[in-house]
Structure 1
Amino acid sequence: MSDKNTTSQEFTSYYLQQSTKEFAEDLDKVRNADDFKGDAVAMLVKSLQQGTSLFSAADQERILKARKSGEDK
């Protein structure tokens, strides 16, 4: 696997973790809605993942490096 793919996968994972933390209350409201069905989970995850496209490969690397250097402290 290339470094670019690894970075992209790491960033997607980090982005989803941060998004779900930030939007926890809103996501709970959506999940608890009467019209929310099990198959909607995949669509919700895919929607959140699309947010990663707002970040260039260079920005993704920069964010991951900053995160890792913050963990070392």
Structure 2
Amino acid sequence: MTSKDTTAADFTSYYLQQSTKEFAEDLDKIRSADDFKGDALPVLVKSLQQGTSMFSPADQKRVVDARKPAASSQGESDS
């Protein structure tokens, strides 16, 4: 996996975490709807993932890189 692929995967993971936090109530309503079936879940996830296309590779890298110091400093304080 290239650095660009790793950055895109890291950004997608972060984006999905943030999206599910921000839209938690809406997602709960969708999941509890009578017409929501288990096979709709992959479609929902794919729809959320498509939001990452709004961000350029440079923006994705900037977000991922900005999160790295926070993660490293947390690890150092645990030592």
RMSD: 1.1
Which has the higher mean CA deviation after the structures are superposed, 60-69 or 1-10? Answer: 60-69
Amino acid across the alignment from 1:54: M
Distance 2:53 2:26 in 1: 22
Length, aligned pairs only:
73
User: Hey, what does 2:77 align to over in structure 1?
Assistant: none
Give the greater-gyration-radius structure (CA): 2
Corresponding position of 1:19: 19
- Superposed, which structure 2 residues align to 1:29-48 within 5 Å? 29-48=29-48
Percent of aligned pairs sharing the same letter: 70
Alignment of 1:4-15 (within 5 A): 4-15=4-15
Letter in 2 for 1:68: K
Question: Counterpart amino acid of 2:23?
Answer: F
Aligned to 2:50: 50
Q: Deviations over 1:10-68 (max 9, x none)?
A: 11011000100110000000000000000000000000000000000100010111122
TM score, norm. by length of structure 2: 0.86
